[in-house]
Amino acid sequence: MFYNRRMKTLVTGATGFVGGALTHRLHSMGWDVTALGRNPAKLNQLEDGGIRVVRADISKKDEVNASFSDFDLVFHCAALPSPWGRFETFYQANVIGTRNIVNACLEKNVKRLVYVSTPSLYFDYNSRMGVKENDPLPEPISHYAHTKLLAEEEVDKGSAQGLAVVSIRPRALFGEGDTVIFPRLLSRLKTGRLPILGDGENMVDLTYIQNVVDALLLCAESPKSTLGKKYNISNGEPVKIWGLVNRICDELGFPHPSRKISRNAAHYVGGAFEFLYSLIPYSPEPPLTRMSVSMLANSTTLDISAAKNELGYQPKISVEEGVQRFLKWWKETN
């Protein structure tokens, strides 16, 4: 076993969804953990809970170097995951930030880096089923996917220089604390304005947040044979997304989506919105993007056999139980 709780651990992105869940788990298990992030309110909450915090912007090399001490293990969870924004903003957060973390790990002789990447690298605007880690990658369809691909290259450079690193690509994360997928979906469902995109029969992989945390912990203690590798992570139980949407609507008293828009028509509308909003400097996120259409209208699943066989990963919380936990949290906080 690589890790023991006396070793010093840093979590980047600790005020985000993944990093926050990981930080709380590590602290509850008695690990010597430091939380790095930028959100002052959330950092204060972590500090009030007895967790050591570091305020730093990972895109700034000096701040990263100043925040590193004698860490043995680093979980790099920080990223900008939005479906919309300026390329330079994504580049600074995802590429420069990762470069700074990797270089700091090398300079400070960190024993292992665990990196959170994304399966967005795999997807174009078509359905893809059972995607494996070594399948050919298409041209990135978003600034997020593009910069996360470049970030993986930064991690690979670190690996080539002797940094022990393991990466995961978790698919469509959800659960308590989610600020990206389900909240966006619920805001549209509540108004009754969300149509069914596609035929309503598409299958998707989801990943409950605590299963992702389990995967990260496994990466911290995985054998040397896993170093330098990337692993797909999901719940391993594809679901019909629109059937799940209807169950959520029933639970929250929202109307079921009833209107249907074909995948091709929705794709065209999303592209038109993107074009129009790109003409507006610092525009907000469009009401529909081609990336969101792809998520809601296409079938997208991952092959997670490598994670099972090489990391010992087994999803413990089902999609159904995870959704119930999310809804309980959502009702309490909204």
Enzyme catalytic residues: 144
218 vs 315: CA distance, rounded Å: 12
Contact 44, 15 (CB under 8 A): no
Write out the E strands in the chain.
Answer: 8-12, 32-37, 52-55, 73-76, 112-116, 128-131, 165-170, 173-174, 196-197, 203-204, 207-208, 230-233, 239-240, 260-261, 300-302
Contact 16, 28 (CB under 8 A): no
317 vs 324: CA distance, rounded Å: 11
Name the phi and psi angles at 274, rounded to 5.
-60, -45
The CB density around residue 239, as the number of other CB atoms within 10 Å, is: 18
108 vs 34: CA distance, rounded Å: 16
